[in-house]
Structure 1
Amino acid sequence: MRVTERSGARFGVTVESFDPRTASADEFEALKKLVYTEKIVVLRGQRLSSPEFIDLGRRLGRIDVYYEPMYHHPEYPEIFVSSNVSSGDQRVGVPQTGKFWHADYQFMAEPFGLTLIYPQVLPKKNRGTYFIDMGRVYEQLPDELKAAVASTRTMHSPRRYFKIRPSDVYRPIKDLLEEIEQKTPAVAHPTVFRHPVTGERVLYLSEAFAYEIHDADGTVRTDDLLDRLLEFSGQLDATFTSEYIHLQTYEPDDLLIWDNRSLVHRALHTATPEPAVSHRVTVHDAHPFYEDAS
Structure 2
Amino acid sequence: MKYEITNGTINQVIVDDFDPEKVTDAELKKLKELIYKNKIAVLKNQFLTPEQYINLSKRLGTPEEYYQPMYHHPEVKEIFVSSNIPKNGEQFGVPKTGKFWHADYAFMPKPFAFTLIYPQVIPQQNRGTFFIDMGKAYNNLSDELKAKAESLICRHSVRRYFKIRPTDIYKPISEVLKEIEQETPEVQHSCVFTHPITQEKTLYISEGFSEGLIDKNGKSLDQGELDELLEATGQKDKAYKNPAIHLQTFEKGDILIWDNRSLVHCALHTSAPEPAESFRITLHDEFDFYEGVNDFNQQIAAVA
Which deviates more, 224-233 or 142-151?
A: 142-151
Cα deviation for residue 135 of structure 1 reads: 0.2
Q: Does the residue aligned with 2:265 lie in a helix, a strand or coil?
A: strand
Unpaired runs of 5+ in structure 2?
294-304
- C-alpha distance in 2 between matches for 1:236 and 1:84: 27
CA contact (8 A) 1:194 1:292 kept: no
Map of 1:245-264 to 2, 5 A cutoff? 245-264=245-264
- C-alpha distance in 2 between matches for 1:58 and 1:249: 25
Q: Does the residue aligned with 1:90 lie in a helix, a strand or coil?
A: coil
Which deviates more, 266-275 or 11-20?
A: 11-20
Map of 1:8-19 to 2, 5 A cutoff? 8-19=8-19
- C-alpha distance in 1 between matches for 2:58 and 2:7: 31
Residue aligning to 1:193: 193
Identity of aligned residues (%): 54
- C-alpha distance in 1 between matches for 2:138 and 2:7: 24
Give 1:32's aligned amino acid: K
Which deviates more, 221-230 or 89-98?
A: 221-230
Residue aligning to 1:28: 28
Give 2:215's aligned amino acid: D
Give 1:276's aligned amino acid: A
Residue aligning to 1:283: 283
Cα deviation for residue 80 of structure 1 reads: 0.2
- C-alpha distance in 2 between matches for 1:139 and 1:191: 14
The alignment's TM-score, normalised by the length of structure 1, stands at 0.97
CA RMSD, 1 decimal? 1.2
- C-alpha distance in 1 between matches for 2:200 and 2:211: 24
Large movers: runs of 4+ above 4 Å = none
Q: Does the residue aligned with 1:33 lie in a helix, a strand or coil?
A: helix
Residue aligning to 1:270: 270
- C-alpha distance in 2 between matches for 1:290 and 1:216: 18
Residue aligning to 2:121: 121
Cα deviation for residue 222 of structure 1 reads: 2.0
Cα deviation for residue 7 of structure 1 reads: 5.6
1:206 aligns with 2:206: yes
Cα deviation for residue 6 of structure 1 reads: 2.5
Cα deviation for residue 76 of structure 1 reads: 1.1
Residue aligning to 1:134: 134
Cα deviation for residue 151 of structure 1 reads: 2.3
Residue aligning to 2:48: 48
Q: Does the residue aligned with 1:87 lie in a helix, a strand or coil?
A: coil
CA contact (8 A) 1:119 1:278 kept: yes
Which deviates more, 11-20 or 74-83?
A: 11-20
Change in CA separation of 1:9 and 1:148 when aligned onto 2, cut-off 3 Å? closer
- C-alpha distance in 2 between matches for 1:164 and 1:198: 38
CA contact (8 A) 1:115 1:282 kept: yes
CA contact (8 A) 2:10 2:38 kept: no
CA contact (8 A) 2:131 2:263 kept: yes
Residue aligning to 2:299: none
Unpaired runs of 5+ in structure 1?
none
Cα deviation for residue 217 of structure 1 reads: 1.0
Which deviates more, 222-231 or 43-52?
A: 222-231
- C-alpha distance in 1 between matches for 2:278 and 2:13: 20
- C-alpha distance in 1 between matches for 2:93 and 2:68: 11
Cα deviation for residue 224 of structure 1 reads: 1.5
1:112 aligns with 2:112: yes
Cα deviation for residue 291 of structure 1 reads: 2.6
Residue aligning to 2:171: 171
- C-alpha distance in 2 between matches for 1:4 and 1:258: 16
- Deviation string 1:30-67 (CA, Å, 9 cap, x unpaired) is 01001100100000011111001001110011101000
The alignment's TM-score, normalised by the length of structure 2, stands at 0.94
CA contact (8 A) 2:149 2:191 kept: yes
Cα deviation for residue 17 of structure 1 reads: 0.8
Cα deviation for residue 113 of structure 1 reads: 0.3
- C-alpha distance in 1 between matches for 2:70 and 2:235: 28
Residue aligning to 1:92: 92
- Deviation string 1:261-292 (CA, Å, 9 cap, x unpaired) is 00000000111111110000110001110137
Change in CA separation of 1:38 and 1:218 when aligned onto 2, cut-off 3 Å? same
CA contact (8 A) 1:66 1:80 kept: yes
